[in-house]
Structure 1
Amino acid sequence: MYRVLAIVSVLFIAGCSALPEQGNAKVVTEPTKQANSRPELPLVEPAQPSQARQAEAAQLSQLLENGELTDEQRKIALYRRGVVFDALGLPSLASLDMNRVLEIDPAMAEAWHYLGVFYMQHGNYNSAYEAFDSVIELQPNHDYVYLNRGLASYYDEQYELALNDFADYYFQEPSDPYRIAWYYFAAYELDAGRAEEQLRQQLEGVPADTWGGLVVRFLADKASAQELIQEAFSDINSHEDLVSRLCEAYFYLGKKAAMTGDTETALNFFKLTLMTNVYPFIEYRVARSELYKLRATLTD
């Protein structure tokens, strides 16, 4: 039994520290510019499933099949495999493992949180609210629960509730550009003019020479789409870094286009976001919700 426990511990630690492989894809150094100075949208190979994570999922599955685990060990192995499945873009398998974790330990806040994200991504907002409320009850200081409950409210078009949660998340770290961005998106739905004024004020606390800083400067019309795409290619060390940057760039270009009424352009940007396959990023997780929202607008 000690041997089994040791294996679970080693797998859990190794999994938390493992990085995706860089593969053989070449890193593109800069996008092509068209004659009209608008950057040509760069199309790069999507992120590839991590071989290390696939191997870890296989090892954990083998471990879970041997039947020698205690409930605590099984809970840890199931939770870790669920995390790996989620990172590999297999959310249904991840949710099955998280439900099995909760059968063993209904008080595990992280499993509730993963289920809440799963429900939010699939438009099951009532179940998402219940899951996130369970997280808050069990772990009120959870790092991301207010962000993700805010996302559920935002895509459920409960904008005041979303703004309240995004505000709680924002005030935990007011210099974080991504917290500012989501606060702005919810505020914009309630009062566009006031939201834009607040965004300009909040920008003052964000370093302008960072990638995230450029994202919110773009949202505030302080930087162009060309600058955003160009910067996505700067100081990149791997193909994975580049695809991750482009996942964010495409998404925020799409949000900006949608907010200015350019629905067709926004649809294309959100499709490009999904084509990156950067499964763990918020931008990837909600890009499909943005597509559904825009298509409903076109139908109306």
Structure 2
Amino acid sequence: MLLRKLLITSGIVVLLSACATTPDHPARDVTDRNEVEVRDSAAQLYLVEPLPADQNLEFELLQLTELLYKAELDDEQRAQLLHRRAMTFDYLGLPTLALVDINQALELKPGMAEAYHSLGIYYAQAGEYQGAFEAFDSVIELQPDHEFVYLNRGLAAYYNGQYELALGDFADYYFQEPSDPFRVIWHYFAAYQLNPGRAYEQLTEQWEFADGNAWGQMILRFLVGEIDDETLVMAAFENASDQRELAYKLCEAYFYLGKVAAQQGLYYQAMNYFKLSLSTNVFPYLEHRYARTELNRVRDQLRVQ
């Protein structure tokens, strides 16, 4: 359920009517269709103004660049600054420039675990899974207690179709902090690929105890069927303190709404949700990183129908 390019002012709520029946025809290109996806109740897609570029990050980028060109630095210091600039590029939605800095940082400091972790994320996002696994394995070798490496290696395995490996990594990540709802969510998605019924049983056993994040708990309530699509989206609007926080919440909400729509075979609706997630411009969130991957997976499903 997520994305698109729409011109909208802050706070305006727009209702999109786009649901549908798929005729009994062979596969067709998703860009050439007249059918409309039908659901028991039409999906209401509420839009948020995309996040603008953060001026503080732009100033930080200028300062880091100036230091890299003008300051006298040893290899350790230059590698650290390059990685910091890479993360700034990343937050501004400039992944190619970030990747260049990450590789330069690793040339200067080959044992830099955080740079390998960033490299693995970029390889996974680009679909270069073997490179991602090698980078994440380097992180584990250099820093076995890294907080997020099992999450991100699990994501690489998940999107490469290696669901048992993904489930193992997501389990390791989950047991580090079972109260984190997002750890429950990803364990569920990997388990669903192997045994949907058992995955749902585990989800219903775990979700109430995963109360370490109130917003994540709302997403879990949706996944177990306690609330519907519209209630989840409206909760984002009601509980956000400003437009920035609203964009963060909707980036996540639309992504997980899209995941569930795709599981239910509501492919056009899923595509809308993934597009909505992308439109928030919340570049650092994994939901934004993988929304395009999910969008392409849905398109592949439609082509083989």
Could you state the TM-score of these two structures normalised by the residue count of structure 2? 0.85
Find the partner of 1:153 among 134, 151, 157: 157
Q: Does 1:214 align with 2:218?
A: yes
1:164 counterpart letter in structure 2 = G
Say whether the 8 Å CA contact 1:79–1:98 is kept in structure 2: yes
2:157 counterpart letter in structure 1 = S
Change (3 A) 1:172 1:188: same
1:59 counterpart letter in structure 2 = Q
Q: Which runs of 5+ in 2 are unaligned?
A: 1-7, 17-39
Say whether the 8 Å CA contact 2:86–2:97 is kept in structure 1: yes
Q: What is the rounded CA distance, in whole Å, between the counterparts of 1:287 and 1:202 in structure 2? A: 25
- The aligned counterpart of 2:81 is 77
Q: Does 1:133 align with 2:137?
A: yes
- The aligned counterpart of 1:230 is 234
Say whether the 8 Å CA contact 1:32–1:39 is kept in structure 2: no
Superposed CA deviations along residues 244-274 of structure 1, whole A, max 9, x for unmatched, are 1110111011011001111111011101111
Number of matched pairs: 275
Q: Does 1:94 align with 2:98?
A: yes
Find the partner of 1:254 among 239, 255, 258: 258
Q: Does 1:204 align with 2:230?
A: no
CA RMSD in angstroms comes to: 2.1
Query: If each structure's helix is expressed as a fraction of its own residues, which one has the higher value?
Result: 1
Q: What is the rounded CA distance, in whole Å, between the counterparts of 2:212 and 2:147 in structure 1? A: 25
Q: What is the rounded CA distance, in whole Å, between the counterparts of 1:299 and 1:27 in structure 2? A: 36
Say whether the 8 Å CA contact 1:31–1:230 is kept in structure 2: no
Percent same amino acid at aligned positions?
52
Say whether the 8 Å CA contact 1:31–1:40 is kept in structure 2: no
Superposed CA deviations along residues 168-214 of structure 1, whole A, max 9, x for unmatched, are 00111111110001000000000000000000000120339921111
1:240 counterpart letter in structure 2 = R
Find the partner of 1:270 among 263, 274, 284: 274
- The aligned counterpart of 2:167 is 163
Q: Does 1:63 align with 2:39?
A: no
TM-fit CA distance, 1:59: 1.3
Q: Does 1:109 align with 2:113?
A: yes
- The aligned counterpart of 1:243 is 247
Moved more, 203-212 or 190-199: 203-212
1:237 counterpart letter in structure 2 = S
Superposed CA deviations along residues 200-253 of structure 1, whole A, max 9, x for unmatched, are 000120339921111011011111111101100123221100111110111011
Q: What is the rounded CA distance, in whole Å, between the counterparts of 2:213 and 2:227 in structure 1? A: 12
TM-fit CA distance, 1:45: 1.4
Find the partner of 1:292 among 289, 296, 303: 296
Q: What is the rounded CA distance, in whole Å, between the counterparts of 1:27 and 1:177 in structure 2? A: 29
Q: Which runs of 5+ in 1 are unaligned?
A: 1-24
Moved more, 222-231 or 123-132: 222-231
